[in-house]
Structure 1
Amino acid sequence: MNISVVIPLLNEEESLQELHDWIVSVMDKGGYSYEIIFIDDGSTDDSWKIIERFAAQNPNVKGIHFHTNFGKSQALHAGFAKAQGDVIITMDADLQDNPDEIPELFALIDSGKFDLVSGWKKKRYDAVVTKNLPSKLFNWAARRTSGVKLHDFNCGLKAYRKDVVKHIEVSGEMHRYIPVLAKNAGYHKIGEKVVKHQARKYGETKFGMDRFINGFLDLITIWFLSRFGKRPMHLFGLLGSLMFVIGFVAAGYIGFMKLYRLYHKMPYDLVTNNPWFYISLATMVIGTQFFLAGFLGEIILRTRSNAERYTVSKTVNF
């Protein structure tokens, strides 16, 4: 099979027919062997009924239905697990991603030059204040933090070699950082292609301003995981050691001053009246907590289970 098109969606009943017909037209024109995997992330409209109708009419259409809304990352994870194509294309279901880009994205991966090609919506039709400016800031921070030189991390239109999607773990809201996850997994041939962005035709966006706040928090998470995810003790042990050093220095200072005053028969206050006593106590307690956090992190890392983070209630054509 040449291509798997993986499409996560939530309440997109108005756009699904046009999207399906458009993708099928592109595939038939190019003579591709393909599958279209729709992942319904707990829609409350008729999206799943439409997907079932597509599947009944077209054996290349497959569907996964979540019991409730688990998020885009979990939907992509489910789609990646089922995808059989040599090249996997992801796109959103709101018609803002253009299916006519599929042949060029496929060719870039099929050439062997890239493991992953990310779309870049250079010209956008979103609101400037609520989406464009925050998106530019977010992408700048992601480039600086991750070292992956992409202009548009959040573009849903991406192409992957099959091996890539089978070896990355997409969880939480990490779908924005799949190129970073791929890099951390050893896939460094990451490219970018300018793609057409279209104004939303039906409905309203499912994402608000809070996605950028969550995005920056996830960026911190993925930075930590990429640096210390496999060795948490390296960070927490270092911080714990630093705290212990500060605590012991402070305790040593208190002891020295007390002995000095005793030797010279000078008056001195109770140890508890010395602010360095509390500095010493606090830093040693914090140091102990950091060490415990490091040990717990190592234990969790070695005993974690890969339990699914979503519940699939129905599938079609699998």
Structure 2
Amino acid sequence: MNISVVIPLLNEEDSLTELHDWIAKVMQTNRFSYEIIFIDDGSTDDSWKTISNLTSQNPNVKGIRFLKNFGKSQALHAGFEKATGDVVITMDADLQDNPDEIPELYCMIANDGHDLVSGWKKKRYDSVISKNLPSKLFNWAARKTSGVKLNDFNCGLKAYKLEVVKNIDVNGEMHRYIPVLAKNAGFIKIAEKIVQHQARKYGETKFGMNRFVHGFLDLITIWFLSSFGKRPMHLFGALGFIMFAIGFGFAIYLGIDKLFLNPSGRLITQRPQFYLSLSTMIIGTQFFVAGFLGEIILRTKEDKKRYLIKEELNLN
């Protein structure tokens, strides 16, 4: 199997047949062996019916149907688990990603030795105010925080070596940061390719402005996990030590002042520095406890299934 095309979708019945035909034409023209894995993330339209029809017409088409909407990251995770191609291509189902880009993406992985190639929609057909400007700000923050020098983290059109998708854990809303997850896993040969962005042909976008708020929150999460995810005590222990040291220093100062410098002055409990010292030492202790709890959780956690599959087609 040369190429696996993984396509998560939600309520895209109008575009699926056209997208399938386009991908199949590209594959046949280039004589690629391939599979197309559609992951229906809880659609309420006839998307699954369309996928069922496609699987009966083309044995290279496979389908996964979620019991309900679990999110794009979970859909990608399910597709990655089932993918068997040497090169895995991800794309959106709304026809805004161009399947004609697949051969060059494939060559950049198979021939040029990249671990991951991310698409860059340099020229977009989205609203400048509602999507382009927030996207530029988001991508700037992602570059600065992660150290991965990509211009477009949000582009759904990406290509991967099979071993990359098998060794990263895409969960929550982390699909935006797959290149960062790959880098943290040790896959550092990451490249970018300018790809064609097409205006949406059917339906309406599933993403609103709130995705950028969630994106920035996820960015903070992935920064923390990549820096301290396997050693939470390094962060919380350091903060706890600093806070406790500050509080303990105030306590020593108050003791020396009362015993030797100003024995007839106010009681220690009447001075605001006493409560500052007490509060800081308590907070420092809590940070230490948080670090210990984090270490314990890491060593005892069990992986849980983050989605439920209702039905599969053409998959063993």
TM value normalised by structure 2? 0.98
Q: Which residue of 2 aligns with 1:280?
A: 277
Q: 1:302 aligns with which of 271, 279, 299?
A: 299
Task: Count residues with an aligned counterpart.
Answer: 315
Paired with 1:316 and 1:271, the residues of 2 have a C-alpha distance of 74
After TM superposition, give the deviation of residue 223 of structure 1 in Å.
0.7
1:62-211 equivalences under 5 Å are 62-211=62-211
Q: Which letter does structure 2 place at the counterpart of 1:81?
A: E
Paired with 2:293 and 2:16, the residues of 1 have a C-alpha distance of 46
Unaligned runs of 5+ in 2: none
Q: Which letter does structure 1 place at the counterpart of 2:266?
A: D
Paired with 1:197 and 1:281, the residues of 2 have a C-alpha distance of 58
Paired with 1:118 and 1:225, the residues of 2 have a C-alpha distance of 22
Paired with 1:306 and 1:29, the residues of 2 have a C-alpha distance of 42
Q: Which residue of 2 aligns with 1:25?
A: 25
> Would the aligned equivalents of 1:261 and 1:267 in 2 still touch at CA under 8 Å?
no
> Would the aligned equivalents of 1:261 and 1:268 in 2 still touch at CA under 8 Å?
no
After TM superposition, give the deviation of residue 261 of structure 1 in Å.
4.8
Paired with 2:295 and 2:203, the residues of 1 have a C-alpha distance of 46
Q: Which residue of 2 aligns with 1:11?
A: 11
> Would the aligned equivalents of 1:116 and 1:189 in 2 still touch at CA under 8 Å?
yes
CA RMSD of aligned residues (A): 0.9
Unaligned runs of 5+ in 1: none
Paired with 2:304 and 2:111, the residues of 1 have a C-alpha distance of 35
Paired with 1:47 and 1:276, the residues of 2 have a C-alpha distance of 65
Paired with 2:276 and 2:311, the residues of 1 have a C-alpha distance of 58
After TM superposition, give the deviation of residue 307 of structure 1 in Å.
1.2
**Paired residue secondary structure (1:154):** coil
**Paired residue secondary structure (2:200):** coil
- 1:42-90 deviations in whole A, cap 9, x for unaligned? 0000001110111111110001111111100000000000000000000
TM value normalised by structure 1? 0.98
Q: Which letter does structure 1 place at the counterpart of 2:45?
A: D
Q: Which residue of 1 aligns with 2:311?
A: 314
After TM superposition, give the deviation of residue 116 of structure 1 in Å.
0.2
- 1:158-199 deviations in whole A, cap 9, x for unaligned? 000000000000001000000000000000000000000000
Percent identity (aligned) = 73
Q: Which letter does structure 1 place at the counterpart of 2:256?
A: F
Q: Which runs of 4+ in 1 moved over 2 A?
A: none
Paired with 2:109 and 2:297, the residues of 1 have a C-alpha distance of 36
Q: Which letter does structure 2 place at the counterpart of 1:292?
A: V
Q: Which residue of 2 aligns with 1:224?
A: 224
